[in-house]
Amino acid sequence: MWRRSASFILDRSSNSPPMADTTQNPDAISAYYQTRAAHHGVITSDWLAQAQAAVEQPDSSVSDLGAEKSFNVIDEFNGWRKQPDLAEAVAAIRAMAAVIRASEATTMMELEIELKKASDTLKSWDKTSISLTAGCDLFIRYVTRTSALEYEDFNSAKSRLLERAEKFGEISCKARKIIAMLSQDFIFDGCTILVHGLSRVVLEVLKTAAQNNKLFRVLCTEGRPDGTGVLLSNELSKLDIPVKLLLDSAVAYSMDEVDMVFVGADGIVESGGIINMMGTYQIALVAHSMNKPVYVAAESYKFARLYPLDQKDMAPALRPIEFGVKIPAKVEVERSARDYTPPQYLTLLFTDLGVLSPSVVSDELIQLYL
């Protein structure tokens, strides 16, 4: 609504066409962030163990072979993503694996087409989830590449794909371990780490550091509206890591005593920047101006072929925000759940491909997709 041009007053009158897009679905809540909120409720270590057990069970909806595959895919996906320890992309790939299993195709091309359709359905169902899109793209890419491998027998090719898809979940867990291992060099004794948001990867990093008997302390931001700070401090205190909770607005105040900032990422974009929970950009800006390094820990399947130019250049992902008190009807609320941090504010990316600088992301993407 607020334009750069002084003519925004005029624009208001002609505002109806552009506004139409956003008012299309004024209460469109990003499903991705809804799930994350749900996860946050359960992502404590007590529940995690139970969740792991749940992962082993094959999903019952596999047997539900209907003619409408697309329907199947989304249900499948939803089923998988409810599991808290499973990354979004992994859930997507598991869903695709289910599609393969249920497919009646007899040639590779046919299978590819089915998969493409399934992936498109998934992507359009939740446009805001970057890892979902990235995971689907990755899997399709993998399929098209391996189909070049001359498998005489279609069935063996199919089973290989299935096997790979199922292994992806393990790869995801392994990725977290690799990242944790790589980041150990950067955590030194006596350091103070600022953490924002509740990323399972960052949690893994800190856990491993604690297991290696490193002495450090963590400052975590409150993380409204998800309340990630409280959850994280809960987890860390169990590991006997000294934790301090900050208000989101107290970040600049405490930045002096911080040695490094650790964040996860919902998606890593082509420019090398990251898309993460709302507030990450702010923290990165403050850290950059005070010369503190900002480290991002994320798996490589989160690399996406997006290129936002500014904060508004992404699909909007809204989530409900409770203020605790009644808000008058005329007052607008900024409900976006995420922001984009440009690459110049990030120092390093810890991924399962290694420790990368932000400009390498495009290199990897070009090699992967071209």
Partner 1 sequence: MESRRNPRAVVDPKVRQVGFFTSSQPDSTHQPDPIASESHPVASSISPSGNSLSPVMIPPPRHNSSDTFPLRAAAAAASAVSPSSFSYSTRRDFPDGSMTASPGRVSRASFSKPSSSLPGVGMDSMAAAKSSSVPASGLTTVSVVNMPPGLSEKESDQKKNSKPLKEKTTKAERRALQEAQRAAKAAAKAEGGKAPLVSSGSVASTNVKAAKPAKPSSQKNDVAVAAPGPSEKKGGQTEKDRKKDAPHPRMQYDDESRVVKAKRRAVVKQTEAKNRVELFRHLPQYEHGTQLPDLETKFFQLDPMHPAVYKVGLQYLSGDISGGNARCIAMLQAFQEVVKDYSTPSEKTLNRDMTAKISSYVSFLIECRPLSVSMGNAIRFVKNRIAKLPITLSESEAKAALQSDIERFINEKIIMADTVIVKHAVTKIRDGDVLLTYGSPTAVEMVLLHAHELKKKFRVLVVDSRPKLEGQLLLRRLIKRGINCTYTHINAVSYIMHEVTKVFLGASSVLSNGTVYSRVGTACVAMVASAFRVPVLVCCEAYKFHERVQLDSICSNELGDPNAISKVHGREDINYLDGLTNNANLQFLNLMYDATPSDYISMIITDYGMVPPTSVPVIVREYQKEHSLV
List interacting residues with partner 1 (CB under 8 A).
Answer: 3-7, 11, 17-18, 21, 270-272, 305, 307, 309-310, 313, 343, 359, 362-363, 366-367, 369-370
225 upstream amide cis, omega within 30 of 0:
yes
The encoded tokens of residue 28 equal 């469109």
CB 89 within 8 A of CB 134: yes
CB 287 within 8 A of CB 221: no
3-class SS of residue 226: coil
Query: Roughly how many angstroms between the first and final C-alpha of the chain, as a whole number?
Result: 38
What would the DSSP string read from start to end of 59-115? PGGGG---S-HHHHHHHHHHHHHTSTTS-HHHHHHHHHHHHHHH----SHHHHHHHH
The encoded tokens of residue 320 equal 């409900």
DSSP, res 259:
S
DSSP, res 221:
E
CB 309 within 8 A of CB 318: no
C-alpha span between 268 and 287 (Å, rounded): 19
Nearer to partner 1 (CB atom), residue 271 or residue 280:
271
Residue 361 Cα distances to 147, 217, 269, angstroms: 26, 30, 8
Tell me, what amino acid is at 268?
I
C-alpha span between 278 and 364 (Å, rounded): 26
